A = this chain, B = another copy of it.
Amino acid sequence: AKRYTDAAELFAGESLDFVDIATTAPSHRPLVEMAAAHRVPVICQKPFAPTLADAKAMVRACAQAGVPLMVHENFRWQSPIQAVRAVLDSGEIGTSFFGRISFRSAYDVFSGQPYLATGKRFIIEDLGIHVLDIARFLLGDVSTITTRTARINPSIAGEDVATMLMDHKSGATSVVDCSYATKLATEPFPETLIEIDGSDGTIRLAQGYRLTVTGRNGTVVTDVSPPLLPWASRPWHNIQESVVAIQQHWVD
């Protein structure tokens, strides 16, 4: 494989099946537009764009070029999240009316990714969009959102806590809460915990990837731990597996 230090040279020099743009957010728009100009399908990492106008321009460029565009929203592809989605699809708990999607941790993400401590925005931009995407994946599109943020860790520039109340078009209400300032007895990083209440039952995805479903057919408890892939390492294997899953989805 050749290496390029210039994207324009890459597109000129190669015949590409697709590109996965894994750069910082402000550079996404020119790179997506460049891919569209070369009619190359695009996966773009999140956060998709710094502004709504940029996001719309990127979608338009790909639509006009007739190339597929996917945001790399990998959290919804985690096997525990997919397991929750499968329960919803089965009808076991009826119509969902309430959800809580929670990610609370004190994991030191700053030592491995120092730039996270310096941005004026942090938790919603880096993590929250994943958790919001899970809420959307499970309960459908959102009509209104009410948000509160706070900075607890004094040594970072952005907010490290966010709490969001959402109305879904389906009629469900959800709470999405994220924190990197929450010191628990057993660190849950990087698990997303889920509660969904439906007209006929409930789903609880608790710490340790323990899924409890109480519904029309009684209560079933399952271990929905993600597989530990050969090249993966704990506790990151949950995220690592989801990247494989999103790539598989893209190929499919």
Residues of A within 8 A of B (CB): 97-98, 100, 104, 146, 148, 150, 152, 161, 163, 165, 167, 171, 173, 175, 177, 179, 181-185, 197, 199-202, 204, 212, 214-215, 219, 221
What's the nearest-Cβ distance from chain B to residue A152, in Å? Answer: 5
| Distance of A197 Cα from B184 Cα, bound (Å) | 9
Q: Is the beta-carbon distance between B152 and A163 smaller than 8 angstroms?
A: no
Closest CB-CB distance, A51 to chain B, in whole Å? 26
B contact residues around A185 at 8 Å (CB): 202, 212, 214, 219, 221
Q: How many copies does the complex hold?
A: 2
Task: Pick the contact of A201: B167, B183, B201, B214 (CB < 8 A).
Answer: B183
Evaluate contact between A175 and B163: CB separation under 8 angstroms.
yes
- The SS class assigned to the A binding surface is strand
- Residue A184 contacts which of B177, B182, B200, B202 (CB distance < 8 angstroms)? B202
Chain B residues positioned under 8 Å from A179 (CB to CB): 98, 197
Instruction: Give the chain B neighbours of A98 by CB distance below 8 A.
Output: 150, 161, 163, 177, 179, 182
Neighbour of A202 across the interface among B182, B201, B215, CB < 8 A: B182
Give A146 to B184 CA distance when docked, in angstroms: 28
Mind listing 19 A-B residue pairs with CB under 8 Å? A97-B181, A98-B182, A146-B146, A146-B165, A148-B165, A148-B167, A161-B197, A163-B165, A165-B165, A175-B177, A179-B197, A181-B197, A183-B197, A183-B201, A183-B214, A183-B215, A184-B202, A185-B202, A185-B219
Asked if B163 contacts A182 (CB within 8 A), the reply is: no
Residues of B within 8 A of A152 (CB): 97, 199
Distance in angstroms between the alpha carbons of A97 and B161 in the assembled complex: 9
* CB of A173, distance to nearest CB on chain B (Å): 4
